[in-house]
Amino acid sequence: MNVQLHTIDQGAGPPVLLVHGFPMDHTMWRFQIESLAASHRVIAPDLRGFGQSPIESISSKIGVAMADYADDLARLLDKLAVEEPVTLVGFSMGGYISWQFYKRHRQRLRAMIQCDTKAAADTPQARETRFKMAEHVEGWGAAHVATLMVPKLLAPSTLQGNTKLVEEIGGMISRTDPVAIAAAQRGMAHREDSTPLLESLDLPVLYIVGQDDQISTTSEMQTMADAAPDGRLVTIPNAGHLSPIENPTAVTAAMEEFLASLPT
Ligand code: MLT
């Protein structure tokens, strides 16, 4: 399917492609877009069905594979005439998609930043939970998904001390098309184990994790960083899973330092 992705394309310089998580949209990167665009070309799409990008209703039944989202991104780079290799930044589901992008479009990559994500496939129990949501989300409505997910996405300090952010994230999830939610859940449930890829990554990789991330833990991400030949981990204080929004200053600084260190 040739999908037209709603995309922010801002700034000039080496290209950086920001891939959002589930069930979110490009606005989760707003702090990073603003800062990085001073020295880079920042490209931040809404994935198929998320934010302002369309999706076919049949996708809720058949799912969208991580490889399909990755191919959407490669087509987007063609459409935007981005010929230079990009630094690919994947957050959580965006990270699962990045592993597929690496496998399918390696020549388009300069470096990777993997943020609050995993390499492992789902456990059987996690897969069941995804299928349940995929089956029922159109009846429940996305607001119910927000109720289920928000407590897991944010650090206890954010949940207790930042009502505005809690409401903002809940609103973003509640506005998501249930078709996109079902499609992505099926795609994530079927995703392969990318752990074998880690030790063969032949490019610089920065791993970033919020210190209170309950979904992709610091120890899991440390293991990933240790396996990569040129990988390192930065742990973000005062943040859970949604570190790019919960502590944007620290995440953006880590990204900027890494980007500045890349060979030209
Ligand atoms: C995300 O933030 O993209 C999700 O937590 C990923 C997942 O459900 O595994």
Three-class SS of residue 63?
A: coil
What sections of the chain are H helices per DSSP? Answer: 30-36, 59-62, 66-79, 93-105, 124-140, 142-153, 156-161, 163-174, 178-189, 195-198, 218-227, 243-246, 248-261
Ligand 1 pocket, mutate which of 131, 188, 216, 217 (most atoms under 8 A from CB): 188
Contacts of 14 (CB under 8 A, 6+ apart): 40, 41, 84, 87, 110, 259, 262
Distance CA 247, CA 239 (A): 6
Q: Integer distance in angstroms from the first to the last C-alpha of the chain? A: 35
- Please, are residues 243 and 218 in contact by the beta-carbon 8 Å criterion? no
Q: How far is the CA of 152 from the centre of ligand 1 (A)?
A: 10
For atom 7 of ligand 1, which residue has the closest CA? 93
Nearest atom in ligand 1 to 130's CA: 8
Q: Indicate the pTM of the whole model.
A: 0.98
Output b/e per residue, 233-249; b: 16+ Cβ within 10 A. Answer: bbbbebbbbbbbbbbbe
Per-residue pLDDT of the chain (264 residues; tens, 9 = 90+): 678 999 999 999 999 999 999 999 999 999 999 999 999 999 999 999 999 999 999 999 999 999 999 999 999 999 999 999 999 999 999 999 999 999 999 999 999 999 999 999 999 999 999 999 999 999 999 999 999 999 999 999 999 999 999 999 999 999 999 999 999 999 999 999 999 999 999 999 999 999 999 999 999 999 999 999 999 999 999 999 999 999 999 999 999 999 999 987
List all residues whose CB is within 6 A of at least one atom of ligand 1: 21-22, 92-93, 188, 215
Three-class SS of residue 18?
A: strand
For atom 4 of ligand 1, which residue has the closest CA? 22
Q: 231 phi and psi, to 5 degrees?
A: -125, 145
Nearest atom in ligand 1 to 242's CA: 2
Q: How far is the CA of 24 from the centre of ligand 1 (A)?
A: 10
How far, rounded to the nearest angstrom, does the alpha carbon of residue 37 sit from its chain's CA centroid?
Answer: 19
- Please, are residues 46 and 20 in contact by the beta-carbon 8 Å criterion? yes
Q: How far is the CA of 263 from the centre of ligand 1 (A)?
A: 31
Three-class SS of residue 124?
A: helix
